[in-house]
């Protein structure tokens, strides 16, 4: 440097690769800060802060996923019960015509499964677009979240949707069994 530029070098920074545990490295960097160094940057400390922040983010993701699962269950349950109550005369008629319990369950539950399949087929690509748009809208100058969803996540979300639908179908089968055929057919619309 002195030969190339003709002036002496004045050091203003030191890069040190420390050995030992993260706690030891962080303690050493804090000691240096107290000794009067202007600025100390510890990679181990940055890593711990990063992990702590993402632990909070992961907790939020788990909470949002749980709430979405609860919402999914409530929506499917409400739609199934509304479907059954709106079609009570029709269901009573097919029961009077000799359809057995399993056939009546299959008749109604098949529709719920088809609607779940349509919802999954539309929801997976639209959910990806929604995630992309959220990260674009909520981007920060110093931090960018790249939306990279593993294919397993899509598979799990579809499996969970169908799992909730099966649970709801089992719950609404009891409602189907309790339809009063005579009362439903006697009621005037």
Q: What pLDDT is attached to residue 121? A: 95
- Residue 76: CB partners within 8 Å, gap ≥ 6? 112, 116, 164, 165, 168
Question: Per-residue confidence at 1, pLDDT binned at 50, 70, 90?
Answer: confident
User: pLDDT tens, 27-75?
Assistant: 877 777 776 677 777 788 888 888 887 788 888 889 998 998 899 889 9
User: pLDDT tens, 124-150?
Assistant: 999 888 888 887 887 777 777 777 788
Share of the chain above pLDDT 70, in %: 94
Q: What pLDDT is attached to residue 169? A: 93
147-151 own/partner pairs: CB under 8 Å, 24+ apart: none
Identify the residue whose tokens are 């593993």: 150
- Residue 174: CB partners within 8 Å, gap ≥ 6? none
Q: What pLDDT is attached to residue 15? A: 74
Predicted model pTM: 0.66
40-43 own/partner pairs: CB under 8 Å, 24+ apart: none
């Amino acid at each position: 440097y002195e030969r190339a530029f003709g002036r002496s070098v004045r050091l203003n920074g030191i890069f040190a690769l420390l050995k030992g545990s993260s706690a030891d490295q962080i303690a050493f960097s804090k000691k240096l800060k107290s000794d009067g160094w202007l600025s100390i940057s510890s990679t181990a400390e940055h890593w711990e802060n990063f992990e702590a922040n993402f632990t909070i983010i992961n907790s939020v993701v788990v909470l949002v996923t749980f709430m979405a699962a609860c919402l999914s269950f409530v929506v499917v349950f409400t739609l199934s019960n509304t479907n059954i109550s709106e079609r009570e005369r029709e269901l009573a008629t097919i029961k009077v015509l000799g359809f057995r319990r399993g056939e009546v369950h299959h008749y109604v539950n098949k529709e719920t499964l088809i609607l779940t399949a349509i919802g999954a087929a539309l929801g997976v690509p639209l959910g990806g677009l929604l995630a992309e748009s959220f990260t674009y809208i909520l981007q920060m100058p110093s931090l960018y979240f790249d939306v990279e969803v593993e294919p397993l996540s899509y598979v799990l979300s579809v499996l969970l949707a169908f799992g909730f639908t099966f649970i709801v179908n089992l719950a609404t089968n009891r409602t189907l069994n309790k339809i009063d055929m005579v009362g439903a057919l006697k009621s005037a619309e």
